[in-house]
Amino acid sequence: MADIEYFEEEAYASPPQVEPSRFGTLVNWAGALVSFGLIAGMAVWAWQLTVRDVAGVPVIRALEGAMRVAPENPGGSQADHQGLAVNRIAEGQEAEPAADRIVLAPPPVELTEVDISSASLPEVTTEVVPEATASAPTPEAASEATLALIDRLIQDEAAAPAAENAEAGVVAEDAVAAPTRETIAVIPISVPGVRNSPRPTGRPANVQVASLAAPTAPTPAASAEIDPNTLTSGTRLVQLGAFDDEETARSEWERLTGSFPDFFDGRSRIVQPAVSGGREFYRLRAHGFTDLSDARRFCTTLLAQGAACIPVTVR
């Protein structure tokens, strides 16, 4: 058996110790200083919370400048089609009711610029047209004609009192008669305006004289009346009202056709008797509709004008 030998010095020997580095020492001291500063700051903050005045009013420094400034354009930018009914829903408002009458807008009117300042007008040069020497009167002839006219006027004024004294007993028609003055048959061409005077056009041969009689309103044509017993099932009608007798129903039909002649063109009248609750009455209806949509369009037009109308179907 082999002997086990123990070497005590080698078995319990320890490795050599390493000395700490200088960088690790600095890090440890820095961490200690930061921890100490944090503890000191928390202590100061706790002291300030303890000694502060809880009931004190905080002071808020006001900002510089105006609190509210009006915008340069209060209305904002103008959008396309602003203010039209098509944008009411997009603006958050309620939609407008349907229009009673829809017509096409007239075409735009082209305006002419008539207000032009005189400064912008071009200068117009006038050209003097010399008159013909043959037609221009001479100064001597003009003076002689003036003197002759003055002499004739003096003679007429002197002869008027003498004629009145001599013919006092003559009838009024002869007394009024006076010597006629000489009239010029043809105006000389030397008078201004005669040379360029246009000749008036003749009266047209097909002139129509307007009548003075008051225009008469067109009488609506009498509508045909259909027997309600001849109507087949499914016929589209329009009921215009219920009346106590046939005469009242027919008079109401005449009133409606006179008020709306275009709507009742091609429609036929139906006066149908009916009984409800032991009481007899007469229904006024109109015939002449292709389908239910046609009858509804007719009633929509009458309701817009304030008349009663209900689309019905024969059962």
Condensed to tens digits (0 to 9), the pLDDT of residues 191-229 reads: 666 566 666 777 776 766 665 565 565 555 556 788 888
| 132-173 residue pLDDT tens | 444 455 656 666 777 677 777 766 665 655 555 555 554 445
Q: Does the pLDDT at position 260 exceed 80?
A: yes
pLDDT above 90 coverage of the chain, percent: 6
- Across the range 2-9, mean pLDDT stands at 58
Neighbouring CB atoms inside 10 A of 109's CB total 5
Alpha-carbon distance of 309 to 286, in angstroms, equals: 10
Alpha-carbon distance of 131 to 309, in angstroms, equals: 83
Alpha-carbon distance of 95 to 140, in angstroms, equals: 91
What's residue 108's pLDDT? Answer: 76
Q: Are 241 and 308 in contact (CB under 8 A)?
A: yes
Q: Are 281 and 214 in contact (CB under 8 A)?
A: no
38: pLDDT confidence band, cut at 50, 70 and 90? very high
Those residues with Cβ within 8 angstroms of residue 44's Cβ, 6 or more apart along the chain or in another chain: none
Amino acid in position 300:
T
Helix ranges restricted to H, 105-239: 139-166, 172-176
Residue 74 is encoded by which pair of tokens?
A: 């209060």
Those residues with Cβ within 8 angstroms of residue 285's Cβ, 6 or more apart along the chain or in another chain: 228, 237, 238, 239, 240, 269, 270, 271, 272, 312
Helix H or strand E encompassing 237? strand 236-243
Q: Does the pLDDT at position 185 exceed 90?
A: no
Q: Are 174 and 159 in contact (CB under 8 A)?
A: no
Q: What are the structural domains, with CATH classification, of the chain?
A: 228-313 (3.30.70.1070)
Alpha-carbon distance of 240 to 259, in angstroms, equals: 14
Q: Are 253 and 240 in contact (CB under 8 A)?
A: yes
